[in-house]
Structure 1
Amino acid sequence: MRLLVLCTHNSARSQMAEAWLKHHARALGVDLEVHSAGTEKTYVKEEAKRVMAEVGLDLTGHFSKTLLEVPDPWNFDLVLTVCDQAKEACPAYPAETQKRHVSFPDPTGRPLEEWRRVRDALGRLSLYLVESLKKGQIPPDEALKEASGL
């Protein structure tokens, strides 16, 4: 299965979600190819690298990219958006696929504790999603949001 995580800048939330999803898929033996992208290419924020390193997940080598820089961008089984579509330019994915949306607050400019809160919520959602995928299920948005604890 191929999964894409979309966010506005691909600099924090989508990068953290990508790392969590890959981690949980490896740990649970789920064949899952995970990519992340954004509407605008920027850079992976240092705070994201720092808080992920605190839980043993290394974002070294991660880089911000647009959808067109992702391999085979129009062929994903599941697309997860993680930014607030009402307040940000969270991208829409035009190709036919399963789509899920859970809005996570943007921790940019906030204390590290807010980064950790978003990191942990993304970790909980990612674990629940990978466990569900292992059972052959794609949970609805509401279940994913509940799993995140936000």
Structure 2
Amino acid sequence: MKFYPQLQQLVQELEQDFTSISEERKTDLNLFAEKIKESIQQFDKAKVIVICTHNSRRSHLGQVWLRLAAEKYNLPIETFSGGTEATVFHPNMIEALKAAGFQVEKMEDGENPRYQINISEEDKNQEQLFSKVYSDEYNPQENFIAVMVCTEADGGCPFVAGSVARISLPYQDPKYADGTSEEKEAYQKNLKEIGREMLYAAAQV
């Protein structure tokens, strides 16, 4: 699949930057890749739920980037996200995704809007992204890999019911920069870090 030009360029930059990932972090990402491989062998595909506290920023990024990585490396991975509580897909993260070259379309208004995010002209994906708890009926209820991307959710969910594996991959929450002059930079940094690591993990499968 040929991604949108701006996104294609970003993907290439992130792949060339795999060397910046620490050896300690690569150990965790390699474990994630191993669990994906095991799920594909056992179930013919891997289902992954990316989990953080509010399902508003990092977990959506993880879901979107892992789907792109699965397309790039031709892997049978289904991606989902959820929180320990539901809030809203944060507008700052929506703007960060648009700025990076993703096509974002609002499908439904309201207090918790739904969005569709596409990665290329040929992208037929119609998955709707919105804030929800990880156990929401929209997500798989069993045989999935749980990826914890914030320390709070990681500490609060030592056991994730229905999961076949639980991986801890915490990232800093960019909300610390909300309303400041650092806002756009903080969100882009977060977007690139998660993108780099999801691409790296998929490349190891």
Normalization by structure 1: what TM-score? 0.78
2:102 matched to 1:35?
A: no
Q: Secondary structure at the match of 1:34?
A: strand
Q: In the TM superposition, what is the alpha-carbon distance from 1:99 to its structure 2 partner?
A: 1.6
Flag the structure with higher helix content. Answer: 2
Q: In the TM superposition, what is the alpha-carbon distance from 1:102 to its structure 2 partner?
A: 1.4
Find the aligned partners of 2:86 and 2:202 in 1 and give their Cα distance.
27
Alignment check: 8 A CA contact 2:62 2:194 kept: yes
**Larger Rg computed on CA atoms:** 2
Flag the structure with higher strand content. Answer: 2
For residue 174 of structure 2, what is the aligned residue in structure 1?
107
Q: Secondary structure at the match of 1:114?
A: helix
Alignment check: 8 A CA contact 2:50 2:81 kept: yes
For residue 141 of structure 2, what is the aligned residue in structure 1?
73
Find the aligned partners of 1:12 and 1:128 in 2 and give their Cα distance.
20
Q: Percent identity?
A: 25
Q: 1:91 to 1:49 in 2, by over 3 A?
A: farther
2:130 matched to 1:63?
A: yes
Q: In the TM superposition, what is the alpha-carbon distance from 1:68 to its structure 2 partner?
A: 2.5
The one-character-per-residue Cα deviations of 1:61-96 (angstroms, maximum 9, x if unpaired) are 1200112223332320x211100138x875441335
Q: Number of residues paired by the alignment?
A: 131
Find the aligned partners of 1:5 and 1:89 in 2 and give their Cα distance.
15
Aligned CA RMSD, in angstroms, stands at 2.0
Please, which of 124, 131, 136 is the counterpart of residue 196 of structure 2? Answer: 124
Q: Any residues of structure 2 matched to 1:46-57 within 5 Å, and which?
A: 46-57=91-102
Q: Secondary structure at the match of 1:108?
A: helix
Q: 1:108 to 1:27 in 2, by over 3 A?
A: same
Normalization by structure 2: what TM-score? 0.59
Please, which of 158, 162, 174 is the counterpart of residue 95 of structure 1? Answer: 162
Find the aligned partners of 1:64 and 1:89 in 2 and give their Cα distance.
20
Alignment check: 8 A CA contact 1:81 1:101 kept: yes
Find the aligned partners of 1:41 and 1:22 in 2 and give their Cα distance.
22
